[in-house]
Structure 1
Amino acid sequence: MPQTKIFGFSGNITRPSTTRAFVEHIVGELALKKQALAQCVDVDDLGPSLLKAKRLDDLNAHARDVVQQMLEADALVVGSPTYKGSYTGLFKHYFDLLDPTSLRGKPIIIAATGGGERHSLVVEHQLRPLFGFFEALAMPTAIYATRNDFGNGEVISEAIRMRVGRAVEEAACAIG
């Protein structure tokens, strides 16, 4: 029986990144729960070919490989920092390259980070509709965290840890 694969994708371009750390935390929790292989990347890992790509074939071999690994994963954890009330532009550009049917039925935990609570609906008003377009199976529990929920790059908020736990349970059930 093939091993379950969990793939995390973070829509940030800075390092170190709270969003990347958050995605890695969620991926780690789900991988532990499912005894799965885990992989995390961010937009920056795709390299410069992403910027000019109009379709997947325009990406370099490494970036196409990253896309293929994501498409082959059993579940995704997708997160973005919040800029001006939405996900990042490169994050959206990456998903614009995908075939609209490529994520159909795939379990996805959606997450976002931001500077304050005023952006908390980004997961419901921006990310959920995006993955609804792809007919992905976005988990009912989406997770938004602010910088106050982290300390030294780690999730320190018990409320956020509980939401992560709930989303992980939902995804684990969806994976089967």
Structure 2
Amino acid sequence: MSRPINVVAVSGGVFRPSRTLVLTQAILAELGRHLPIHSHLIELGDIARPVGGALSRQELPETVEHELRAIEKADLLVVAAPVYRGSYPGQFKHLFDLIDLNALVDTPVLLAATGGSDRHALVLDHQLRPLFSFFQALTLPIGVYASEADFQNYQITSETLKARIALAAERAAPLFGGAPADLRKIA
């Protein structure tokens, strides 16, 4: 058997409890059902203060530098951001401002976001996709958006959201030699 796929997930929320973290964990779990993965979860809330205080990467402590290197070395990147006032948060963007310009070239990226209502769903295509296109990453065609209505007590309760997570993972699997999704079953 080949080595596990190095999946690095970034949960871009800074508060706890966090729907963004719950969504990120659900995506990682679903990917693990389809592929042999080694996952590493980075919670922005854990590194937000040193990231926010750094004007350059050289000013970061080694713990944060370790997380940046993990992002840069991912075989598959899962990126989930909360939506505040119609966009991803500045702290989230600043984290990616510190990533090496060429480190994510051709890296597959599964995009996800959470927001208060469905009106924020376009953040996937209008903001996250262009950000990772700048890095020349390969954003996967199926992203996952979740609104507040998809959760109850910070647990995913929406069957539609669960199906979307499964679809995203199934569509990602063939990139790494996993079984292709049977789209007739999903539709």
Same fold (TM over 0.5): yes
Q: In the TM superposition, what whole-angstrom CA distance separates every residue of 1:17-75 from its partner, at most 9, and x where no partner exists?
A: 01011011101111231121122121122252211222222210000111112222211
Instruction: Kindly provide the amino acid, as one letter, of the partner of residue 105 in structure 1.
Output: D
8 Å contact kept, 2:27–2:165 = yes
**Alpha-carbon distance between aligned partners in 1 of 2:173 and 2:68, rounded to the nearest angstrom:** 22
Q: Which runs of 5+ in 2 are unaligned?
A: 178-187
Q: In the TM superposition, what whole-angstrom CA distance separates every residue of 1:86-121 from its partner, at most 9, and x where no partner exists?
A: 101100000011122111111111010001111110
Tell me the CA shift for residue 8 of structure 1: 0.9
Aligned twin of 1:67: 68
8 Å contact kept, 2:10–2:78 = yes
**Alpha-carbon distance between aligned partners in 2 of 1:137 and 1:48, rounded to the nearest angstrom:** 29
Change in Cα spacing, 1:174 to 1:54, as seen in structure 2 (3 Å) is farther
Instruction: Kindly provide the amino acid, as one letter, of the partner of residue 2 in structure 1.
Output: R
Aligned twin of 1:151: 152
Tell me the CA shift for residue 2 of structure 1: 2.9
Tell which structure's C-alpha radius of gyration is larger: 2
RMSD between superposed Cα atoms in Å: 1.3
Instruction: Give matches, 1:127-146, under 5 Å.
Output: 127-146=128-147
8 Å contact kept, 2:48–2:91 = no
Instruction: Kindly provide the amino acid, as one letter, of the partner of residue 64 in structure 2.
Output: A
Aligned twin of 1:160: 161
8 Å contact kept, 1:74–1:175 = no
Instruction: Kindly provide the amino acid, as one letter, of the partner of residue 138 in structure 1.
Output: T
Report the TM-score, using the length of structure 2 for normalisation.
0.89
Instruction: Kindly provide the amino acid, as one letter, of the partner of residue 159 in structure 1.
Output: T
Indicate the larger mover: 30-39 or 91-100. 30-39
1:50 matched to 2:54? The reply is: no
**Alpha-carbon distance between aligned partners in 2 of 1:33 and 1:7, rounded to the nearest angstrom:** 16
8 Å contact kept, 2:72–2:99 = no
Instruction: Kindly provide the amino acid, as one letter, of the partner of residue 49 in structure 2.
Output: P
Give the number of aligned pairs. 176
8 Å contact kept, 2:14–2:48 = no
Q: Which runs of 5+ in 1 are unaligned?
A: none
**Alpha-carbon distance between aligned partners in 2 of 1:5 and 1:152, rounded to the nearest angstrom:** 30
User: 4+ residue stretches of structure 1 with deviation over 6 A?
Assistant: none
Aligned twin of 2:172: 171
1:39 matched to 2:43? The reply is: no
